[in-house]
Amino acid sequence: MLSEGDVLYVNLFGLKVSVALSKADGENQQQTDVAIVTIGDSVIKLPCSKDGIDMNGSGSNLTVQLIKGNRTRVEQSTVTGIASGYDVFGGGATQDTDGVKDLSTGYTGGFAGLNDEGVLAGDHMVYADTIRGASGLVDPFSNTKLKSVWDFNTMSDILGPVDDGNGDKAYNTYRIYRKAAANASEASTSAQDGNKIFSQKNTADDALNTGLDCWEVKLFDVVNTYDSSAVHSSASGDAGTTWVGIKDAVVDPTDGSTKTKLDAYQSPAKAVLMLDATVTDNNGGLTPEPDDGQDPCGKDGCRTIDLTVQKVWKDYGRVTRPDAIALKITATYANDAGEKVTPETIQCFDGDCNAVPKTNGWTEVLDSSDGSLWSSTWRKKITGLPVAFTDDAGTLRYYTYTVTETWMMFGKGDVVQCATSAGADATEGCKTPADAGYSASVSYAADPNNTTGDVNKEYVATVTNAVPLPETGGQGTQWFMLFGLLLLGLGTAWYFKANAGGASGPSGPSRKRGRHAVS
């Protein structure tokens, strides 16, 4: 008997075969494996619960993972954001908070959130700022997994440099930007990682356009990970790899002054590659402008629009929907400098064109009464929203409206109270969409059904909540599994026979592997 549940292990001329009994599978946390058969990099798993083999379809009855032969490959691709930086949030993270603790789907990366043994070659990130997700699942470039029992498989094989066709190396790269400093020079790793210089200050156009200093990180040139003290690879070939990260990296000065911290590594849940500035409304929002020749203030100065907020549920009936949701609607405008301004109040109008001041950044509540019993869509119309206003200098400023889903209420509590810390703590049933297992997206458009010619046009903001698709199965899947098992069995039988001493094949005695002299 071997430790950790392994009951059999044999190394057949480099082919590692093991069988484990009653060994918990970290990828299937609700079950315990009856048997895990591993042949090289191929794995067969038969999971079950305390009640026996699961026949209800809630989990896989049999899992076959064959040798990795057709890896996904992404090559010579670039992700570019705006000059002020793009943010990537995963696992329910926001600008101010980390992702949900222990959430297995909180992977976050500037180029790819999760790369499961795929090849990334010569890919680049430009203008990325904040990368934030669940603790331990964040990487500035990509969270990459690699698991192999073969000594020739390494992380460098799938993330390292490749030949660029001109005799040079093409690296995967990302960039770190900081406020310009005349005495800033190269960037070096921490003392723990050897005080190694990994990048010179970049003076290329893409750095000058931001007014910031820039350092380019080439993966597997010097730096090969985010945090050298974290677990990186499950490949046997990486057993002797020295990991070098950007945690506690510094900028060396040219004038002999004190080194400054680069601070790209903030925590296991957050990396900052620019200035950690808030970037909002990347999805545009709604900016309703009247047709040419029309007065944006309308008759009696009360030209308005109607905004319909529409909630679409794409949950396939797999999760419990909340009893109510809270949507925050905010109006902004741009000043002469192009900066976004959020006023404290806006002037709305009722049906008789009477001014109705409204606190900006207000909450609208939707519940099942805003849709039919069989509907997956809830709708609510907000009327009398102003198109624009004239500032003190006489300049016309158009409003942009954005919608954000903030809270869900499971129960009969007041979802509006979830917005306050006291309410969130005291009110049972308050959950963010991420906490409830949903991802949220918002899209905006003019209502295509408005054909009345009414000058008060209707616009629609659609908030979509989705959950991951369920696993598929059926007899077709079972046939594929059986076919995979048959291939593995035949391959193993052939291997034993081909390496058995004195065994004869169809053409006579088989030759043992190794060197053979010819006289």
pLDDT at 142: 92
pLDDT per position in the chain (519 positions), as tens?
A: 444 455 565 665 555 666 665 555 555 444 455 566 666 556 666 665 555 555 554 455 555 555 555 567 888 888 877 777 788 888 888 888 888 887 777 889 989 888 888 889 999 988 889 999 989 999 999 998 888 877 788 999 989 999 888 889 999 999 999 988 889 999 999 999 999 999 999 866 555 567 788 999 999 999 999 999 987 788 888 888 999 999 999 999 988 888 999 999 999 999 999 988 876 544 456 566 544 333 455 555 567 888 888 888 887 666 778 888 999 999 999 888 878 899 999 988 777 778 889 999 999 999 888 876 666 888 898 888 888 888 888 888 888 888 988 888 888 778 888 876 554 454 678 888 888 888 888 887 765 454 444 444 557 778 787 765 444 444 444 555 666 666 666 766 676 666 665 544 444 444 444 444 443
- Strands 234-235, 147-148: pairing kind: parallel
pLDDT number for residue 166: 86
* Domain residue spans of the chain: 3-67+472-509, 73-272, 299-466
Q: Are 263 and 275 in contact (CB under 8 A)?
A: no
Cα distances from 193 to residues 6, 132, 196, 246, 498, in angstroms, run 36, 23, 7, 9, 47
Q: What distance in Å separates the CA atoms of residue 513 and residue 455, rounded to the nearest whole number? A: 85
Label residue 241 left, alpha or beta by phi (over 0 means left) and psi (-120 to 50 means alpha). Answer: beta
Check residue 500 and give its pLDDT: 63
pTM for the full predicted model? 0.50
Task: Quote the CA–CA distance of 310 and 308 in Å, as a whole number.
Answer: 6
| Confidence (pLDDT) at 498 | 65
pLDDT at 352: 75
Of 9, 28, 328, 270, which Cα lies nearest the Cα of 128?
270
pLDDT for 291 equals 42
Residues sharing a CB contact under 8 Å with residue 422, sequence separation 6 or more, in sequence order: none
The whole-angstrom separation of Cα 417 and Cα 364 is 12
**Edge to edge, what strands does the sheet with 173-179 contain?**
78-80, 124-126, 173-179, 212-218, 201-202
**Alpha helix (H) ranges present in 243-376?**
none
Position 265 scores a pLDDT of: 95
373: CB partners within 8 A, 6+ apart? none
Q: How many C-beta atoms surround the C-beta of residue 489 within 10 A?
A: 11
Looking at residue 55, its pLDDT comes to 52
Given this model, what pLDDT does residue 496 score?
Answer: 65
For residue 319, the model assigns a pLDDT of: 72
pLDDT score recorded for residue 289: 52
Distance CA 153, CA 231 (A): 17
Burial class (CB in 10 A: 0-12, 13-18, 19+), 264: buried
Give the closest residue to 264 by CA, choosing from 162, 130, 154: 130
